[in-house]
Structure 1
Amino acid sequence: MTLMRPAKDDRFLLSADRSLASLCSPDAISASTHAVNTRVAEALAAITLPDGLPAMREAYARGELGLPASPKSPRARTTTIEGPAGPIGLRILVPDEVRGVYLHIHGGGWIVGSNDTWDEQLEYFGREAGMVAVSLDYRLAPEHPAPAAIDDCVAVASWLIEHAEREFGTSWLSIGGESAGSNLAVLTLLRLRDAGKGDAFRAASLLYGVFDLSLTPSVFLVKGAPFISLEAMRRFTGAFAGDVDLKDPAISPLYADLHDLSPALFSVGSVDPLLDDSLFMFMRWQAAGNLAQLAVYPGGTHGFNTLNGELAAVGNRGVATFLKAMRTEAAS
């Protein structure tokens, strides 16, 4: 079987009675989503990109590049573990009721971002699904091209396998991320599987991931989409890949052998240039014999779940519902 029980709120899940065409139809985009997208376009038009990568990283962290920065939670605590090239920073959010752990890998095109800009979403997953959030600061490109970030993610995942029960009182583990973070989440699962630890992580939430660094048709066809252009994607993927071929399964998991991986929820907006990445990976995930769901959010742009509005709320609720359902099924 390759289909999971649908969530209670399954309006945007692909199903036997809900076609991909209906989810991607312009007619399916709500007035509120149109309004959000208009505000984003207007805000981006007024932005002058900073010069240089250090300035861009600072602006991204402050939420000045169009994607808002999440308010930092006073409940968060930080620690470090030893990684393959030195200490790796962890940001940990523990909910009142602990049912599992969610290893979060942040997005940012592998070149920007950190583990302290997603507290709001991660706390929501804690309240709704009982997930302890552990978000890591992996090494960024281009200073540290692949496999540096992957090595760091695998190190933290391995640490959780050994320490989660003692640290948090649960051994149930899940993993996920956004954009480049989804890429790293899948690559981490592949590394763990090949090391004989494939059963450790029981669910994966993969939000608008980059799974083919050589780029899919929807990226090549993009025109005027917020946050992502063909030029930007080439810059991001080139920085992360370094000297590695863009189709190498070590960095482009669409080309990997995907057998024996966790049940996964693929979430993506219908107007995201990375739409094809999720469509293709969802099908390959199922073809390899894994459980999978695909949620397509009409009118959703890249990063839609970080924007204010109904679609963001529904998207984040979809992830929380999936994590909670996977944990509940494991306990039954």
Structure 2
Amino acid sequence: MIDHALFDPATIDAETKALNAEIVAAHAAQADPWSLPIEEVRARRRAGTQASPAMPRSPRAETVTIEGPAGPLALRVIRPQGKARGAYLHIHRGGWVWGAADEQDPWLERIADTCGFVCLSVEYRLAPEHPYPAALEDCEAAALWLAGPGKAELGIHALTIGGESVGAHLAVMTLLRLRDRHNLPRAFRGANLNAGFYDLGLTPSVRLWGEERLVINTTDLKRFADGYVREGIDRRRPDVSPLYADLKGLPPALFTVGTADPLLDDTLYMSARWAAANNGGHTAVYAGGCHIFVRYPGALTERALELIDRFLMALA
């Protein structure tokens, strides 16, 4: 049951309100990313901006290369400092068009050391150069490797998966492909899904958000979908938008979202369908949290990360 008080503006703490105002102001002071060449936007994001500071890269990270559908596929690996209890397959955010596997190392270090998981992040192909289903095929290949020879190579048994924004979308789509194409419905014990983009036809909260860029806005999400899915493909096909898929037989999931996220409806709708499919899990909604608010330090972030830690540890 979701506490309806979370949606009352009065429940948003002062720290979160100040952070959201800073993010909006920082984005307003920058050039519109859609006015710049895509490679320039990718480079700026990697270097970090005032609106989206870069996360430090881990000196512990290594690369494992496996065979992907289009050639060698890189997995960024961060191992726990102690004995490994399992593995976490991470799929990065970035609207399918930006982002990289090395841009969220602090999250993976935390999961590695707190949960005892080997963390692997997929360097999937980006759109629009590589539209649907390229990114999904890469994530599917990574999951199959991890559920097969990767288990022995890494010396682990318990597998989990997760991601943020489009990474959460790709995580769900990967679970569906494992179930439907490979008869592996429970190869992964659980999914950590943070503010996923599950309906490329756009839910009401996306359509009604507007142009204020609190990390993302309506235009951004439309452009992401346009870049990922070629014209003529139904955006609400179950193999494109997992909100419309048969979700039966999937593992438990932790859904995380803030109330100040354009993708709020995506999470609420998907978590309801997940529960209706009797998959189990939990939905955590945070008052005033912006899109992927866990990338910004603060009390709200720490609460969310502690719950993610507990969820993943329970799956080992």
TM-score range, shorter chain: over 0.9
Give the stretch that moved more between structures: 244-253 or 222-231. 222-231
1:225: Cα distance to partner?
4.1
Give the stretch that moved more between structures: 148-157 or 302-311. 302-311
1:222 to 209, 213, 238: 209
Partner of 1:100: 86
How far apart, in 1, do the equivalents of 2:32 and 2:187 lie?
41
RMSD value, Cα: 1.3
How far apart, in 2, do the equivalents of 1:58 and 1:256 lie?
35
Contact 1:225-1:272 within 8 A present in 2 as well: no
Contact 1:271-1:300 within 8 A present in 2 as well: yes
Q: Which amino acid aligns with 1:114?
A: A
Q: Which amino acid aligns with 2:66?
A: I
Question: Residue 57 in 1 paired to residue 42 in 2?
Answer: yes
- Note the 1:55-94 alignment, pairs <5 A: 55-64=40-49, 66-94=51-79
Q: Which amino acid aligns with 2:235?
A: L
1:38 to 21, 27, 33: 21
1:238 to 202, 222, 226: 226
1:75: Cα distance to partner?
0.5
Aligned sequence identity (%): 46
Question: Residue 131 in 1 paired to residue 114 in 2?
Answer: no
Number of aligned positions between the proteins? 310
Q: Which one has more relative contact order, counting CA pairs under 8 Å at least 6 apart?
A: 1
How far apart, in 2, do the equivalents of 1:175 and 1:68 lie?
25
| Runs of 4 or more consecutive aligned structure 1 residues displaced over 4 Å after TM superposition | none
Q: Which amino acid aligns with 2:74?
A: G
1:170 to 156, 177, 202: 156
Structure 1 runs not aligned, ≥5 long: 1-14, 328-332
1:255: Cα distance to partner?
0.3
Question: Residue 210 in 1 paired to residue 197 in 2?
Answer: yes
Partner of 1:113: 99
Contact 2:85-2:157 within 8 A present in 1 as well: no
Structure 2 runs not aligned, ≥5 long: none
Question: Residue 197 in 1 paired to residue 197 in 2?
Answer: no
Cα 1:186–1:65, aligned 2, differ >3 Å: closer, same or farther?
Answer: farther
The DSSP-based 3-state class of the residue aligned with 2:153 is helix
How far apart, in 2, do the equivalents of 1:68 and 1:197 lie?
38
1:67: Cα distance to partner?
2.2
How high is the TM-score relative to the length of structure 1? 0.90
How high is the TM-score relative to the length of structure 2? 0.95
Contact 1:128-1:321 within 8 A present in 2 as well: no
1:163: Cα distance to partner?
2.4
